[in-house]
Amino acid sequence: MDGPDSVNARLRQLPAVDLLVETAADGASVPRWALLAAARSVLDVARAGLLREPGTRRAPGAEDLAGRVRIRARGLCRPWPRRVLNATGVVLHTNLGRAPLSAEAAAAVAEAAVGYSDLELDLETGRRGSRLGVVRELLCRATGAEDALVVNNNAAAVLLALDALAADRDVLLSRGELVEIGGSFRVPEILGQSRARLVEVGTTNRTHLRDYRDAIGPRAGALLKVHRSNFEMRGFTHEAGLRELAVLAREHDLPLIEDRGSGTVVDLSAHGIPEPEVQRGLTDGADLVLFSGDKLLGGPQAGIALGRRDLIERMRTSQLARALRVDKMTLAALDVTLRILLDGRLESLPVLRMLLAPPAELEARAERLAKALSTRGFVCSVVKQASLVGGGALPDLRLPGFAVRVESQGSPAALARALRLGDPPVLVRVSQGALMLDPRTLTDDDASRVGEAFERGLFDQST
């Protein structure tokens, strides 16, 4: 029988942490902190294994443990986040960091990061300057808004707007707009975090202007309209539009706030992207429009508020604004992104370049990728496939394009996993029993690395 004594005896066979670190360090150029952390966790796992199956397990040998420590320690030493190759075709992929920045914006971030800057200093007077000064001007210039404010992300902009403008008051919101965006942002919960009170109006599928009107009581503080970013409603539906809501808001002297989510300052409709510019919300009568910096705008993570000067001023001077403010790297990236948009150089923003890529260009890139994979022994073909905008934007829009369909000998899910765990990791879609690689979200340079990653992924899978 396997009593507690023999379990203890086996546990005692495990080396001490220091000894394990010494063994693992031999010949491995890995810093000591990582070896120590890795040794602790490898020993924890080994101990738990022995306790779980006391009858069958033997304590792993010293070399085996040291090997595990080295692998784990190397993993700890790898800078994070890791660059991955996105072959999913989803341009704004929240799990993959949303908008890739333009090279110019990235350079501005590096410049702002490594040195001192006039972030809050007016070089002319030598006095303290406004942190948002230039970016605020660019936002107003690009959109015609009276004033603008930038905070950490759009969730923060919504929180700040409601808290600063409707504390202890009712915020009226359609039941059809009680949305969840990506799990971490639920409109009712954000409202709950502010000092404003949510008053739901209408029904899930139909909300009329009169529903808002009936709900306006003495405690009314604001009307909120939330863009249903990530889903569409069809069938027996109705919603009150911004224009009619604006009339009602005016009558009752209430601010009308539009949470747009994803938006940009240029008109993309001529390019087949039916998303009105954010400033359209203001011309339609919203007093404030709120949107993200890293969705369609193609910039850094940020929450941007545009609109009436008095409302923006109340947000700006709120205590909460200080807690939600953006750092210099964000401002540097946003500044350059807005300048690119003002110049009309849409091609310089990766998000727009990918979204607006002509099908012929995508097909050519798919052909090159397919060729690179074929020469490595993969069976593949180029097929028509639409890609998605992602990032809670335009859920129904299918961007016409092409994909490389790669037949997998084993399970496609297993190959997809091997590619995800590869170096560099490659993210693909699995569809109809094959891997689908969408070249829209790969640069030519990325695409050439996919070939190598495939070779390694397959090799790892077969060993």
Ligand X SMILES: *Cc1c(COP(=O)(O)O)cnc(C)c1O
Which part of the chain contacts ligand X (CB under 6 A), choosing from 223-231, 236-244, 363-371, 417-425? 223-231
Kindly state the smallest distance separating residue 125's Cβ from ligand X, in Å: 34
**Is residue 292 a contact point for ligand X (CB under 6 A)?**
yes
Question: Which residue from 226, 311, 312, 389 is in contact with ligand X, where contact means CB under 6 A?
Answer: 226
Which part of the chain contacts ligand X (CB under 6 A), choosing from 212-220, 222-230, 405-413, 451-459? 222-230
Contacts of 137 (CB under 8 A, 6+ apart): none
**Is residue 264 a contact point for ligand X (CB under 6 A)?**
no
**Is residue 390 a contact point for ligand X (CB under 6 A)?**
no
**Is residue 261 a contact point for ligand X (CB under 6 A)?**
yes
**Is residue 202 a contact point for ligand X (CB under 6 A)?**
no
Work out whether the CA dihedral 335, 141, 263, 171 comes out positive or negative: positive
Interface characters, 127-156, with ligand X (x: CB under 6 A): --------------------------xxx-
- Rg of the chain taking only CA atoms, in angstroms: 27
Which part of the chain contacts ligand X (CB under 6 A), choosing from 256-264, 339-347, 357-365, 449-457? 256-264
Would you say 393 or 403 has its CB closer to ligand X?
393
Say whether 274 sits in a helix, a strand or coil. coil
Q: DSSP characters for 278-302?
A: THHHHHTT-SEEEEESSSTT-SSS-
Instruction: Region of 441 please: left (phi>0), alpha (psi -120 to 50) or beta.
Output: alpha
Question: d(Cα 214, Cα 128) in Å, to the nearest integer?
Answer: 48
Number of residues that bind ligand X (CB under 6 A): 14
Question: Which residue from 15, 221, 255, 392 is in contact with ligand X, where contact means CB under 6 A?
Answer: 392
Residues facing residue 288 across a β-bridge: 257, 307
Residues facing residue 289 across a β-bridge: 258, 306
Would you say 231 or 459 has its CB closer to ligand X?
231
Phi, psi of 446 (to 5 degrees): -55, -45
**Is residue 337 a contact point for ligand X (CB under 6 A)?**
no
**Consecutive H or E run containing 383:** strand 380-384
Would you say 259 or 287 has its CB closer to ligand X?
259
CB-CB contact of 365 with 442 (8 Å): yes
CB-CB contact of 379 with 407 (8 Å): yes
Which part of the chain contacts ligand X (CB under 6 A), choosing from 104-112, 221-229, 265-273, 398-406? 221-229
**Is residue 227 a contact point for ligand X (CB under 6 A)?**
yes
Say whether 405 sits in a helix, a strand or coil. strand
**What single letter denotes the amino acid at residue 112?**
A
Beta-carbon-side half-sphere exposure of residue 263 (alpha carbons within 13 Å): 26
**Is residue 262 a contact point for ligand X (CB under 6 A)?**
yes
Point out the residue whose Cβ comes nearest to ligand X: 261
- Interstrand relation of 426-427 and 85-86 (parallel, antiparallel or unpaired): parallel
**Is residue 86 a contact point for ligand X (CB under 6 A)?**
no
**Is residue 181 a contact point for ligand X (CB under 6 A)?**
yes
**Is residue 229 a contact point for ligand X (CB under 6 A)?**
yes
Phi, psi of 397 (to 5 degrees): -80, 125
**Is residue 307 a contact point for ligand X (CB under 6 A)?**
no
Kindly state the smallest distance separating residue 173's Cβ from ligand X, in Å: 12
Residues near ligand X (CB under 6 A) are 153-155, 181, 185, 226-227, 229, 259, 261-262, 292, 303, 392
